[in-house]
């Protein structure tokens, strides 16, 4: 158990819909990272938050957004869903904001868009 | 730019054989971290090892060993006496300590251990 909790584990939704994925970081970790793993793209970095503020942005679509709340949990919002958004979405957390030194991932949310 | 290359897309070996997974990385920074993760069929990402750029000592953990060579920018992973449970996708990854705080993953190597 990595200590990073993601919910839900599975999600099936229709095209055009909006979903929210949730991540609770390990106790004491201030940084949260979101990754997307699709069959053809591998593991892609989406976005990082540190103590409530956006710290780094990767290949995140404009239809996607994220935030980190005062209790440090994070949500990834995916809207106007397309079939190509079907993927495994991972959250990871680390203690600080400089370098990914402690690298533990949640179990992922498998999103299927039909 | 940062890049991680795992040239072996898929490998199959017979149980009890040794197998080495190759990883070559690119970075312009002097301080960085290298990682290996295992992704079994169940899908979760299991952290195996983290290495910082100043520590070139090889590491052994049970049947797993890692060979870090800065001179060739490689961080290879060897499984000795492989077992069927080692079947998984293995990812090598790189994190830059000074830049924008993310891990860059290689495309992964799918390892099949045949009984």
- Rounded mean pLDDT, A55-78: 95
At A42, is the pLDDT very low, low, confident or very high (cuts 50, 70, 90)? confident
φ, ψ of residue B2 to 5 degrees: the values are: -85, 140
Task: Give the span between the Cα atoms of B56 and A47, in whole angstroms.
Answer: 30
Q: Is A39 on the interface with B (CB under 8 A)?
A: no
- The string of DSSP codes covering B18-47 is -EEE--EEE-S-SSEEEEEEEE-TT---EE
Classified as helix, coil or strand, A37 is: strand
Task: Give the span between the Cα atoms of B68 and B54, in whole angstroms.
Answer: 10
Classified as helix, coil or strand, A83 is: helix
pLDDT given at position B95: 87
Low-confidence ranges of chain B (pLDDT < 70): 97-101
Given the DSSP bridges, would you call strands B46-52 and B103-105 parallel, antiparallel or unpaired?
Answer: unpaired
- CB-nearest partner of A103 from B44, B50, B106: B50
In this structure, what token pair is assigned to residue B66? 């890692």
Percent share of chain A, pLDDT over 70: 94
Q: Is A2 on the interface with B (CB under 8 A)?
A: yes
């Amino acid at each position: 158990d990595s200590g990073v909790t993601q919910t839900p584990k599975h999600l099936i939704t229709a095209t055009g819909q909006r979903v929210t994925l949730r991540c609770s970081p390990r106790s004491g970790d201030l940084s949260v990272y979101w990754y997307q793993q699709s069959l053809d793209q591998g593991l892609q970095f989406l976005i990082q938050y540190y103590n409530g503020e956006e710290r780094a942005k990767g290949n995140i679509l404009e239809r996607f957004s994220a935030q980190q709340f005062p209790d440090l949990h994070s949500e990834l919002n995916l809207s106007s869903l397309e079939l190509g958004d079907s993927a495994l979405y991972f959250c990871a957390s680390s203690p600080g904001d400089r370098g990914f030194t402690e690298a533990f991932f949640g179990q992922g949310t498998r999103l299927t868009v039909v | 730019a940062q890049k991680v290359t795992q040239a072996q897309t898929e490998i199959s070996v017979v149980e009890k054989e040794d197998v080495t997974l190759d990883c070559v990385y690119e970075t312009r920074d002097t301080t960085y971290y290298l990682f290996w993760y295992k992704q079994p069929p169940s899908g979760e990402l299991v952290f195996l090892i983290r290495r910082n750029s100043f520590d070139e000592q090889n590491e052994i953990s049970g049947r797993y060993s890692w060979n870090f060579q800065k001179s060739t920018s490689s961080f290879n992973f060897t499984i000795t006496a492989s077992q069927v449970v080692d079947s998984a996708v293995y990812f090598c990854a790189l994190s830059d300590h000074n830049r924008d705080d993310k891990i860059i993953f290689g495309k992964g190597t799918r390892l099949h251990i045949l009984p």
